[in-house]
A and B are shown apart, each in its own frame.
Chain A
Amino acid sequence: MSHVTAEGPASFFAGKPLRFIAATILLVNGMFPALWILFTSLKTEAELTVKPITWFPHAPTVANYMQAFSDQPLHVFLFNSFMVALLSTCLTLLVSVLAAYALARLNLKYRGLILSAIIAVSTFPLVTLLVPLFEIMRALNLLNTWIALILPYTVLSLPVCTLMLVSFFEGIPRDLENAAMIDGCTRLGALFKVVVPLCAPGVFTAGILAFVNAWDEFLLALSFNSNPALRTLPVGIQLYQGEFAFPWPVISAALVVGIVPVAILIVIFQERVVSGLTAGGIKG
């Protein structure tokens, strides 16, 4: 990117002062809430009730983290969230790779119709399915199981992942698959041995989006899995609040524990995530 150092009235817009102000606004807007919860989690209960409130913890303590794990089975919530997100991501990728390949490579008669249907599903309000899914899961005895969440989460991310993968697959030259098939691969073999490895970055990006979607979901997890042993993190965090007390430092510690895994994912794969998000948005 070229650095514009224009002279005259426009210079402020490209100049250092503006960039400094802009960076400050962006960073405060993006990071402050997470940082604030981190500060809160390091404060003692006594420091919390001092007025006027302190911004930085005076005597940072990790006691709240210990308490977060001992008051409630936080590790169980984490494990449930992780497994549900991971399994639904794998299922989403498997199903959407197959569907996207058909849509990208085979000359389907109803391709336009199927794509429209997928777009329509991508805007589907999952809330409306609360009642029927609740009935179905109840009838199948699946309430308070991972499956009750894995299946809806898979469908939640399926449309976006499929649309993304279609565009990735269309960018792979057909010759490469043909070569594999001549060398004795079946078409499916060519898909998994040639196309998917070549699209690995794209498949991976789709996977991150699906994982974050599942990690964030709250309503269905709240409605289907109320048993503390099967709660996911967003639902489990509610258990910290007593009837009258709201132990903010401990809740903050639990929130930080829940934010860290996704934050790590985002920090490492930030460019990929941005490209995946915006590809979906711009292409529609």
Chain B
Amino acid sequence: MTTSTLTTTQRIEKEPPAWTRMLDLSDRALAVLLLAPAAILLSLIIVYPVARLAYTSFFSLSLTSGLPAEFVGLENYKLMIDDPIFWETTWNTVLITLITVPGALVVGMALALLANLPFRTQWPVRLSLLIPWALPLSFAGLIFAWFFHSEYGVVNDVLNRFGIPGVIWFNSPNLAFAAICLTIIWKTSSFMALIILAGLQTIPRSLYEAADVDGAGRLRQFFEITLPLLKPAIVVALIFRTITALQTFDIPYMMTGGGPGTSTSTLAMYIHQNTVSFLDLGYGSALAVVMFLLSMCVTVVYLRIIRTKG
């Protein structure tokens, strides 16, 4: 290995102009060639559809009516403002984000601190954080729907064992919402824990030893050493989590189907319903534009943070 690299550098020194000049010439062409597949895919699946989305949102286009698309200006957006289900599903989405993102952070932090203890065998711990991550969201929704089953669910069984009467989780909007949030927190906290754990493992031991010498307690060490050093990793994880929380679909769809009524329906579920069930593409597009703007706000914050980090 070392000898071959040595001869390489020697050879390069002998005849540098030949290949460097050739490379300089072809660099730009090569770059275009290499980036082209990605660019084509992104334009086909993202750029063109986004443009089309904005365009369609100004049309009345319902595939069930069989009428051709008709330009209606801001009519879809006006409909949306007067649509109580739009407001309800948007509010549910925001609420899910506000509850499950901090929830996953707190639970994930706790799991990471536990996983960071000096275990002799690491793989069971690692695996117990990886399995929830790898489980499909839709599977998690089904599994937890079974957990919260009013008759034969394990949650009510455990409650009964503690002398608390079981409840019918999916009949009450608030309980159903709580069940969904708990499921999302369980599903997402382990990814958070993995990110935080990786951050924890980069903090040098000597910092804690020094703090021990200075007589700082465990709690103070956590707030003055651990948290500040983890901040960059946590911020990135939080932003990704926020963006995925805004798109929440699988878990409520599987657990409650949005019910009772539309009380646990999310914006993504409403977009899906309008598009696939009602085939009302104009209105579905207008709803999607709102979702797009919501998540763009978060992305802009993210890009700004990355840029200031350098």
Let me know if A123 and B130 touch, CB within 8 A: no
Query: Is A101 among interface residues, defined by CB-CB distance under 8 A?
Result: yes
Contact of B144 among A33, A262, A273 (CB under 8 A): A33
Contact of A29 among B26, B49, B186, B272 (CB under 8 A): B186
B232 neighbours in A (Cβ, 8 Å): 282, 284
Let me know if A31 and B128 touch, CB within 8 A: yes
Q: How far is it, in angstroms, between the C-alpha of A3 and the C-alpha of B30 when the chains are bound?
A: 52
Write the A137-178 contact mask toward B (1 if CB under 8 angstroms, else 0). Answer: 000000000000001101100100010000000000101101
Q: How far is it, in angstroms, between the C-alpha of A19 and the C-alpha of B114 when the chains are bound?
A: 8
Query: Is B213 among interface residues, defined by CB-CB distance under 8 A?
Result: no
Let me know if B38 and A99 touch, CB within 8 A: yes
Q: A119-B302, A258-B139 are in contact. Are A106 and B284 (CB under 8 A)?
A: no
A175 neighbours in B (Cβ, 8 Å): 5, 8-9, 12
Contact of A154 among B41, B52, B111 (CB under 8 A): B41
Contact of B27 among A106, A131, A262, A266 (CB under 8 A): A106
Let me know if B37 and A131 touch, CB within 8 A: no
Q: A218-B250, A282-B198, A282-B199 are in contact. Are A129 and B45 (CB under 8 A)?
A: yes
Let me know if B34 and A102 touch, CB within 8 A: yes
Contact of B131 among A2, A10, A18, A263 (CB under 8 A): A263
Q: A134-B276, A179-B8, A259-B135 are in contact. Are A36 and B117 (CB under 8 A)?
A: no
Q: Which of B65-118 contact A (CB under 8 A)?
A: 111, 114-115, 117-118
Of A58-66, A90-98, A199-207, which binds chain B? A90-98
A108 neighbours in B (Cβ, 8 Å): 31
Let me know if A29 and B5 touch, CB within 8 A: no
Query: Is A37 among interface residues, defined by CB-CB distance under 8 A?
Result: yes
Let me know if B4 and A179 touch, CB within 8 A: yes
User: How many residues on the A side are at the interface (Cβ–Cβ under 8 A)?
Assistant: 101
Let me know if A259 and B218 touch, CB within 8 A: no
Q: Which of A250-284 contact B (CB under 8 A)?
A: 251-252, 255, 258-259, 262-263, 265-267, 270-271, 273-274, 277-278, 281-282, 284
Query: Is A14 among interface residues, defined by CB-CB distance under 8 A?
Result: yes
* Closest residue on chain B to residue A281 by CB atoms: B195
Let me know if A123 and B239 touch, CB within 8 A: yes
Let me know if A99 and B34 touch, CB within 8 A: yes
Q: How far is it, in angstroms, between the C-alpha of A130 and the C-alpha of B53 when the chains are bound?
A: 9
Query: Is A245 among interface residues, defined by CB-CB distance under 8 A?
Result: no
Contact of B26 among A49, A133, A187, A222 (CB under 8 A): A187
A40 neighbours in B (Cβ, 8 Å): 146
B191 neighbours in A (Cβ, 8 Å): 277
Contact of A136 among B26, B49, B197, B284 (CB under 8 A): B49
B178 neighbours in A (Cβ, 8 Å): none
Contact of A178 among B12, B37, B139 (CB under 8 A): B12
A121 neighbours in B (Cβ, 8 Å): 42, 46
B4 neighbours in A (Cβ, 8 Å): 179
Q: A179-B5, A218-B137, A278-B195 are in contact. Are A133 and B42 (CB under 8 A)?
A: no
Query: Is A46 among interface residues, defined by CB-CB distance under 8 A?
Result: no
The 28 sampled A-B contact pairs (Cβ below 8 Å) are A14-B117, A19-B118, A30-B190, A33-B186, A34-B131, A40-B146, A94-B37, A95-B41, A106-B34, A107-B27, A119-B302, A123-B299, A126-B247, A133-B45, A134-B275, A135-B52, A151-B41, A155-B41, A181-B19, A219-B249, A237-B138, A255-B139, A274-B130, A277-B133, A277-B194, A278-B198, A282-B236, A284-B232
Give chain A's interface residues, CB within 8 Å of chain B: 1-4, 10, 13-14, 18-19, 22-23, 25-27, 29-31, 33-34, 36-37, 40, 48-49, 51-53, 55, 94-96, 98-99, 101-102, 106-108, 114, 116, 119-121, 123-136, 151-152, 154-155, 158, 162, 173, 175-176, 178-179, 181-182, 187, 212, 215-216, 218-219, 222-223, 233-234, 237, 248, 251-252, 255, 258-259, 262-263, 265-267, 270-271, 273-274, 277-278, 281-282, 284
Q: A27-B125, A95-B38, A234-B136 are known contacts; what are 20 more A-B pairs with Cβ within 8 Å? A: A29-B128, A29-B132, A29-B190, A33-B144, A36-B146, A95-B37, A99-B37, A119-B306, A123-B239, A129-B49, A155-B41, A158-B41, A173-B5, A175-B5, A182-B12, A222-B272, A263-B134, A270-B126, A277-B133, A277-B191
Give chain B's interface residues, CB within 8 Å of chain A: 4-5, 7-9, 11-12, 19, 23, 26-27, 30-31, 34-35, 37-38, 41-42, 44-46, 48-50, 52-53, 56, 111, 114-115, 117-120, 123-140, 142-144, 146-147, 149, 151-152, 154, 157, 160, 186, 190-191, 194-195, 197-199, 212, 218, 232-233, 236-237, 239-240, 243, 246-247, 249-250, 253, 268, 271-272, 275-276, 281, 284-285, 288-289, 291-292, 295, 298-299, 302-303, 306-307, 309
